[in-house]
A = this chain, B = another copy of it.
Amino acid sequence: MDIVKGFPATSQDNYQLNVTTIIKHAARSFGRQEIVSRRLDGSMFKYTYADAHERMKRLANGLRSIGVQVGDRVGVLAWNSHENYEIYFGLPGLGAVMLLLNLRLTPQDLAYVIDHSGASFIIVDETLLPIAHAVAPLCKSLKGFVIITLPGKKLADVKTNLKNAYSYEDLIAEASADFEWPHMDETSAYAACYTTGTTGKPKGIYYSHRDVYLHSCAIGNNAEISLADTYCQIVPMFHALGWGLSQAATMVGARLVFPGMYTLDRLEGLSKLIVDEKVTVSAGAPAIFMPLLEYIRGLDEKLDLGGARLLSGASEPPVAMMKGFWELTGAEVIHAYGATETTPLVTTNRLMPWLVGELTKDQQWELKKKQGFTVVGLDLKVVNALDAEIAHDGKTPGEILIRGPWITAKYHDAPGTESQFTKDGYWRSGDMGTIDEHGYLKITDRVKDVIKSGGEWISSVDMENEIISFPAVLEAAVVGIPHPKWEERPLALVVLREGEKEGVTADDIRNHLANTFAKWQLPDEVVFVNEIPKTSVGKLNKKEIRAQYKELYSK
């Protein structure tokens, strides 16, 4: 990306974009706005932006007093509490990096992340101490712990063998509220989050203050969040910045609700909180929104959430769920797309006004399932295997490449990962998608599940599904095998049902596939096997299949 210098401006361009600007603003302008938190013992707690800001400044002083300095990395193992919200501003505000620790990782992976970042301290909820206990002996860089004890509990009464453990509440109580947030260079890291891909070690993304500030503007603008809203933090705050709406909500002074601890199999408390507090903006996965809808359906009184916006990510939102919210409460479910590498907002799906008259209601609902259009500030393109942009026909798939101020430019200290970025600064998302004539993106596959052939893509998942729809077939796996001319060509492994093992030929499978695939996409070889290699968790082991057949097309 060549940068061109123009005529000099007189603007205050050295004023750094800092995340603390957001909370200073909220405390100044919206000091009396309410923050509601369900504590880890189930009790409710309420305070204000002004109160929270004071505790953040005390926290910053308290952390400094135990040795946390500018540039230090400090891990956080915590639920969606008001304390975590305080950490979101107070910890990076003093110049340290907030390392988000996913409490669902194995102790080995957590220890890898902690040591890779060089974290010196971990702030941990008392209820999550078992994780800290498992991780601590595996880590080299840790110097101490700060424990968020259960309400009213003293540190002395907490059962732990952790050395150098401090109480979060004691640190805050003993520290001064007099703290001037430093003006951090905006390219300094505000937080770090490690991806947990299926292969290789976790990879670190270190979000700059500039990144998070601009992302907050963008997601706030897309969620149309305002002072009149009540925002509930559903997305775990240990995922990519909890998806960033808590900062955006703070920017505009919305009322905040923190649900504390909840798990997918214990959602009733969360649902009740959302209804009781009349939440108007939130973000989460369909896995949360589906049971929430059922809860609302079971209420005696009709719930009016007219104008509310629920950003739904992680997987495609079912139409029944979107329709359900709309018809039952007036809330709009908005499909959004992103990744840890993208802070994460990349696309949102809103219905363009000019499509209202052109599409039937059913078509509009189908359209709402797509990932949507790219938010302002980012470049997004979908490319074929030769990195040329694909047609915007809603059919041709390609890999999604993204760049912009809140997209990562590299992985932290991860040699060998350079190929995941293009020369002109795009991040290769690994997601395959199409763009339709209206500009809506739809994710179709992961790149690792597609086959590159002659500069084009063939979806292995689609082909597997199509083969399985052949009555005699029990199971199928499709992989790309290196080919001297076409780069890769598809190979299909097929397990036939008992009693059907005679009489089915490779051409039968190919003829069946020809109904939906182009001739050049059909597998050169269809191999009938008794069993397909599987991984320890029962998934198709494509790595092993590719290794086993790697010379099939080059002999």
Contact = CB atoms under 8 A, between A and B. Distances in A.
Interface of A: 1-17, 21-22, 25-26, 28-33, 70-73, 95-97, 182-190, 204-211, 214, 217-218, 220-221, 224, 226-228, 251-253, 255, 343, 350, 352-354, 373-377, 403-412, 425, 439
Nearest to A73: B7
A540 B252 CA distance: 44
A22 B64 CA distance: 41
B185 A3 contact: yes
Contact of A211 (B11, B25, B28, B227): B11
B11 A208 contact: yes
Given A227-B353, A425-B15, A6 B70 contact: yes
Nearest to A440: B29
Contact of A14 (B3, B4, B8, B21): B3
A10 to B, nearest CB: 5
A7 B206 contact: yes
21 contacts: A2-B183, A3-B183, A5-B185, A6-B70, A7-B72, A7-B96, A7-B97, A7-B189, A8-B189, A9-B206, A10-B206, A11-B207, A11-B208, A13-B208, A15-B407, A25-B374, A25-B375, A28-B439, A32-B354, A220-B221, A224-B224
Contacts of A187: 8-9, 11, 13
A13 B183 contact: no
A6 B408 contact: no
Given A4-B70, A31-B439, A188-B5, A12 B183 contact: no
A425 B10 CA distance: 12
Nearest to A372: B29
Given A12-B408, A404-B15, A221 B217 contact: yes
B374 A6 contact: no
Given A6-B95, A11-B187, A32-B354, 7 more contacts: A1-B14, A4-B184, A5-B184, A6-B71, A13-B210, A15-B404, A224-B224
The 9 closest A-B pairs by CB, nearest first: A6-B188, A9-B208, A11-B211, A217-B217, A9-B189, A11-B208, A29-B373, A25-B376, A12-B409
Nearest to A210: B13
Contacts of A352: 30, 32-33, 227, 253
A47 to B, nearest CB: 14
Contacts of A409: 10-14
Contacts of A15: 1, 403-405, 407, 425
Given A25-B374, A182-B2, A405-B17, A10 B354 contact: no
Given A25-B374, A71-B6, A227 B350 contact: yes
Given A6-B71, A411-B10, A29 B374 contact: yes
A6 to B, nearest CB: 3
Nearest to A218: B217
A209 B5 CA distance: 11
Contacts of A8: 187-189, 206
B376 A251 contact: yes
A13 B24 CA distance: 23
A204 B9 CA distance: 10
A21 B377 contact: yes
B9 A188 contact: yes
Given A1-B15, A8-B187, A404-B15, A376 B22 contact: yes
Contacts of A255: 353
B186 A13 contact: yes
A232 to B, nearest CB: 17
Contacts of A227: 350, 352-353
